[in-house]
């Protein structure tokens, strides 16, 4: 154990070294002696800290006058030494931007990275919202989206969603004005633009230029609708960052929302190993590279030195808020919900299914069967596998029906189910946690009978089309499961994939029969 008796009761930074003399962790403390000693006195460390303590062979400290100085020094040292046990702030996802190119007639589109000239807006909270904004701005201001300027007008020109600078109908000055208006919306200045466009619309109407007035009216309506979708119901004149996190299985899942004057602008996600003082360490490292907002909204209090540290970087006061109710608490709850969905959405589907059909364990591997034919010809079976809540296409299987003539969906299900699990049994391969068959009580009975004949015990359910009714063995009526609930939607998702895969195989076989 490292000797800590000579360490001072003063603020500063400490560095742990391994047996090779490499810096493996850098931290800061109000009281260096208490903080460093706690590593070797506590017995309930998280796994990451346990590994750190086991690898540490020596420590040195740098005393500072204040806690704020310790925070600044900590960040400087981390950037210099890049210790393996400190947080690696690599964003876990790449979010796309809306990009206006730097061409004479700028093109609007989507970009993953800022590698080309032009102006970038975002990154956006979700792909759906980004695509919506892009579509509205592109059509409202009639900006081109073609990668190369064509020599003649395209379909977008003929339906009125592009001003067709390629044909010379719109000159550089007129097109630049449309780009300026689009940029105003993308920058979040929609309200100011609406007033300006309303004045212009009135002037156009007075001059009997009704065609242009109607175009301006449509632009105003589109911008208002966009503002309504993006604007939170809060009158905020400063920028906020909202940070929340969840700890699961030794990992920290953290999400940061940027809120610009009440409008949710973008988000960032991080995953790192669990450790003590994780929020403080994240804040120090993140805002050493990014401008702090006027207000930071957090799920719990942090070190008193954090606010002065952020204020020093920003050059103005940074307020830290830990809300218990109201709009700011709703923002925190929204971030937490996004963490659940973004990181654990698939797990939630699996757990909902487990609860809905009464499984003893969460179904990690699910296999689903469907039968497809056209008037009794080219009858085929399909099997898709979902692993961890997502399709595992490497495990998909196709079956030609070998034992039947004519139409018999029940016998077809029995055949493919029997063939699948007889083979897994003979090979000693792992069985799935749940089987789903497309159909009603008849298909369910056929699948259950095939499993009994093979001699394997696997939970099996069936889902009938149209009403999306779910049946389980031993019940003559469907489960009282709403088709809009998470579990039912998950079953439908799996069934639809099996159906798609079966139809694709059926079409392939029929095509082969037609071609001599």
Contact 357, 479 (CB under 8 A): yes
Q: Give Cα separations from 217 to 160, 161, 173, 228, 434 (angstroms).
A: 15, 15, 22, 17, 56
pLDDT 10s digit of each residue in the chain, 516 long?
677 777 888 888 899 999 888 999 999 888 888 999 999 887 777 788 888 988 999 888 888 777 777 777 787 788 778 898 887 665 555 557 788 888 888 989 888 777 788 888 776 655 666 777 788 788 778 888 888 887 777 877 777 778 888 888 888 888 888 888 888 877 767 676 787 778 878 887 888 888 778 877 877 877 776 665 554 434 566 888 999 999 987 888 998 988 877 666 667 888 888 888 889 999 998 998 889 999 999 999 998 999 999 999 999 999 999 999 888 898 898 888 878 877 787 888 899 999 999 999 999 999 999 988 765 566 788 999 999 888 898 999 988 888 777 678 899 999 999 999 999 999 999 999 999 999 999 999 999 999 999 999 999 999 997 788 999 998 888 898 887 788 898 999 899 889 888 887 666 665 655 444
What is the C-alpha separation between 185 and 187, in angstroms, rounded?
5
- DSSP single-letter state for residue 231: B
What is the C-alpha separation between 315 and 298, in angstroms, rounded?
21
The secondary element (H helix, E strand) that includes residue 342 is: helix 327-357
Q: What backbone torsions phi and psi does residue 342 show, to the nearest 5 degrees?
A: -70, -40
Could you tell me which CATH class the domain 365-514 is placed in?
alpha beta
What is the C-alpha separation between 397 and 90, in angstroms, rounded?
38
Domain boundaries, the chain: 12-81, 97-230, 240-344, 365-514
The secondary element (H helix, E strand) that includes residue 340 is: helix 327-357
> Encoding tokens for residue 47?
């796994």
Omega before residue 351 within 30° of 0, cis: no
Q: Write b or e for each residue in 348-362: b if 16 or more Cβ atoms lie within 10 A of its Cβ, otherwise e.
A: ebbbbbbebbebeeb
CATH fold of 240-344: Nucleotidyltransferase; domain 5 (3.30.420)
As a dihedral over the C-alpha atoms of residue 478, residue 482, residue 483, residue 487, rounded to 10 degrees, the angle is: -90
Which of left, alpha, beta for 362 (phi over 0: left; psi -120 to 50: alpha)?
A: beta
Task: Classify the C-alpha dihedral 414-416-417-421 as positive or negative.
Answer: positive
What is the C-alpha separation between 318 and 315, in angstroms, rounded?
9
Q: Give first-to-last CA distance, the chain, whole Å.
A: 80
Give the CATH superfamily of 12-81.
GIY-YIG endonuclease (3.40.1440.10)
Q: H helices of 12-150, where?
A: 32-41, 47-55, 67-81, 127-140
Q: Give Cα separations from 31 to 35, 53, 211, 300, 463 (angstroms).
A: 6, 19, 72, 21, 62
Tokens 């030494």 appear where?
Answer: 81
Q: Do the domains spanning 240-344 and 365-514 agree at the CATH topology level?
A: yes
């Amino acid at each position: 154990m490292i000797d800590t008796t000579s360490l001072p009761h003063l603020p500063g930074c400490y560095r742990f070294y391994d047996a090779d003399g490499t810096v493996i962790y850098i931290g800061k403390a109000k009281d260096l002696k208490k903080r460093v000693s706690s590593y070797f006195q506590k017995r309930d460390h998280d796994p990451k800290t346990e590994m750190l303590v086991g690898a540490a062979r020596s420590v040195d400290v740098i005393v500072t006058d204040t806690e704020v100085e310790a925070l600044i020094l900590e960040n400087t040292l981390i950037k210099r030494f890049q210790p393996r046990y400190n947080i690696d702030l690599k964003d876990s996802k790449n979010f796309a931007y809306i990009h206006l190119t730097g061409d004479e007639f700028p093109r609007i589109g989507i970009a993953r990275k800022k590698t080309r000239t032009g102006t970038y807006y975002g990154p956006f909270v979700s792909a759906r919202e980004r695509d919506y904004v892009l579509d509205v701005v592109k059509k409202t201001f009639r900006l081109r989206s073609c990668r190369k300027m064509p020599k003649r007008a395209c379909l977008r020109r003929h339906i009125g969603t592009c001003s067709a600078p390629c044909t010379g109908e719109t000159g550089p000055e007129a097109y630049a004005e449309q780009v300026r208006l689009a940029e105003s919306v993308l920058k979040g200045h929609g309200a100011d633009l609406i007033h300006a466009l309303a004045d212009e619309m009135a002037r156009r109407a007075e001059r009997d230029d009704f065609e242009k007035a109607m175009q301006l009216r449509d632009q105003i309506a589109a911008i208002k609708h966009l503002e309504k979708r993006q604007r939170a119901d809060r009158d905020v004149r400063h920028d906020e960052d909202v940070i929340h996190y969840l700890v699961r299985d030794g990992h920290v899942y953290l999400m940061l929302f940027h809120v610009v004057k009440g409008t949710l602008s973008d988000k960032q996600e991080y995953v790192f190993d669990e450790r003590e003082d994780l929020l403080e360490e994240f804040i120090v490292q993140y805002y050493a590279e990014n401008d702090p907002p006027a207000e930071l909204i957090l799920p719990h209090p942090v070190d008193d030195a954090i606010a002065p540290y952020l204020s020093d970087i920003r050059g103005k006061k940074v307020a830290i808020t830990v809300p218990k109710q109201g709009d700011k608490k709703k923002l925190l709850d929204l971030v937490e919900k996004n963490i659940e969905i973004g990181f654990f959405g698939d797990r939630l589907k699996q757990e909902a299914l487990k609860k809905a059909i009464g499984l003893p364990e969460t179904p990690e591997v699910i296999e689903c069967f469907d039968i497809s034919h056209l008037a009794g010809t080219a009858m085929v079976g399909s099997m898709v596998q979902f692993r961890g809540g997502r399709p595992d296409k490497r495990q998909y299987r196709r079956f030609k029906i070998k034992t039947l003539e004519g139409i018999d969906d029940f016998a077809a299900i029995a055949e493919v189910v029997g063939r699948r699990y007889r083979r897994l049994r003979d090979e000693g391969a792992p069985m799935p946690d749940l089987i789903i068959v497309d159909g009603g009580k008849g298909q369910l009975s056929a699948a259950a009978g095939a499993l009994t004949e093979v001699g394997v015990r696997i939970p099996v359910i069936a889902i009938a089309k149209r009403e999306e009714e779910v049946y389980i063995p031993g019940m003559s009526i469907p489960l009282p499961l709403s088709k809009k609930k998470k579990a039912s939607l998950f079953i439908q998702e799996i069934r639809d994939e099996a159906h798609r895969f079966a139809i694709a195989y059926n079409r392939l076989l029929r095509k082969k029969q037609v071609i001599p």
